[in-house]
Structure 1
């Protein structure tokens, strides 16, 4: 009789432990603590019914050194303020305003796959936005901006001419507690561009972080606009956007993430960086910047 009791206890313990291990093996892996890493989107989407406030700021170039406090007092700063909301699990909707070109943007991000401790080695996320160039119409009437490679008459710009689009697929993997890496591919389109620019740009993106403390990480981001003859409308690549390189540090709490970094692109919206960045990180093109995110749960 005692033997049967011991066998029954062992069976119950075995089933309990196996269920516990199975649950542990299937746990989701969260790679980032913020939806934005420097100025790149990440796979992170907060819980449903969460509101996120985003502040992104870039100073001027450090090329003048201490005369303008390494760009902090320099002209050419840029700032973006945004709100993101998660109405349902894995779907985030957002809107923002940006100083450069007075952009207004509307965006959405959706997580298709979630990395887990077993069975799913990566996360897959898609992101897209639409931006509206909000400058006065006189900014488009100088003859320097054209549509479909034809001259634009003064003050003849239509609302659709102001639109630009960016779409991206992001694959993320947290290799260990200290190291996370993500890679992505993107497509950028502007309805109207300058004569010496393409309407379309395809790009590659890499970003990641290396944790050095429970709340601190070294972070980096690299964006590469590709030169593809098949979609180019140009005779040369003189105005082709330069690659963007950024690196810095991040500190986070349960509701905040603060990132300070140095990077090349003056633009904050991804399509602006992929189309217009002419700063060269090898030639004093770097500038300081910071990103702050704050979330509220309802």
Structure 2
């Protein structure tokens, strides 16, 4: 009888120990579950790809870059005459054209710009909007897409029998700039383009000209790069006696600005000129040496950086 009571006591003690252990484990699991429920999951965000190009211009045309909110960019573009014009014209240095322009970032994505070009005494203005930005990580965007709409006014005095009202002197250009930064050294950009001319030289020529531009930047050193740019005119809308614009450039970053040197068969510096008015043969010496220089000024600090 005594043994039986002893065994029952041991069994009861063992049962209590097992139950206590099970209860402790259950409570620990409940605590872990509550902790997991209370923890806020960290949502991963995509990382934007910066500096697809270093400048606002590739060579003649725009890049996907915008100045940024509150930044004013002052651009000077210069083109000399054709190198094959001979020693009398100092190989083109006597026949220079100039464009001065200002571009202001209303936001990081939206830019407004104006310019004055000595060629055709043209005034131009544009709106530029960065619709998509290349990013890495979750929900990555593979390219940057910037939309560009420009207008140019030819104010040159022309004495002919053609009526040249204000409206007929206007030309409009619409572009989608699509670029991808493949590596820290290489960026490629594609530019489907429509140029609408209110006035054409011949009745047989179309008012709308379609072109496909392609260009790229290959970094050579920390502060230099080689740039290429080409605009292919769609044959069905190509104006007569014109050639595709081709340019090769060399960029130098010097602190607060980018200095661009280039050779091109286009003397014009706005879209209507270098896309629809190029007549030089790049491979026969019809080359125009020129440069672009841009300087940025902070007009208004971003909201997040105000003191």
Same fold at TM > 0.5: yes
Q: Larger helix proportion, structure 1 or 2?
A: 2
Partner Cα separation in structure 1 for residue 251 and residue 164 of structure 2: 42
Larger Rg: 2
**Do 2:200 and 2:207's aligned partners in 1 also have CA atoms closer than 8 Å?**
yes
Give 2:15's aligned residue. Answer: none
Partner Cα separation in structure 1 for residue 48 and residue 173 of structure 2: 32
Q: Specify which of 203, 209, 221 is matched with residue 213 of structure 1.
A: 221
Give 1:281's aligned residue. Answer: 282
**Do 2:174 and 2:193's aligned partners in 1 also have CA atoms closer than 8 Å?**
yes
Runs of 4+ with deviation above 3 angstroms: 64-70
Give 2:5's aligned residue. Answer: none
Query: SS where residue 165 of structure 1 aligns?
Result: strand
Query: SS where residue 121 of structure 1 aligns?
Result: coil
Q: Specify which of 151, 169, 181 is matched with residue 174 of structure 1.
A: 181
Query: SS where residue 40 of structure 1 aligns?
Result: coil
Give 1:191's aligned residue. Answer: 198
**Do 2:64 and 2:144's aligned partners in 1 also have CA atoms closer than 8 Å?**
yes
Q: Specify which of 116, 119, 133 is matched with residue 135 of structure 2.
A: 116
C-alpha deviation, 1:295, in angstroms: 0.5
**Do 1:30 and 1:115's aligned partners in 2 also have CA atoms closer than 8 Å?**
no
Ranges in structure 2 where 5+ consecutive residues have no aligned partner: 1-27, 300-307
Give 1:146's aligned residue. Answer: none
Partner Cα separation in structure 2 for residue 286 and residue 117 of structure 1: 40
C-alpha deviation, 1:64, in angstroms: 3.8
Q: Does 1:164 pair with 2:171?
A: yes
Q: Larger strand proportion, structure 1 or 2?
A: 1
**Do 2:187 and 2:217's aligned partners in 1 also have CA atoms closer than 8 Å?**
yes
Aligned residues: 262
Q: Does 1:89 pair with 2:108?
A: yes
Give 2:91's aligned residue. Answer: 70
C-alpha deviation, 1:67, in angstroms: 5.3
Give 1:264's aligned residue. Answer: 265
Give 1:107's aligned residue. Answer: 126
**Do 2:185 and 2:218's aligned partners in 1 also have CA atoms closer than 8 Å?**
yes
Give 2:153's aligned residue. Answer: 132
C-alpha deviation, 1:54, in angstroms: 0.5
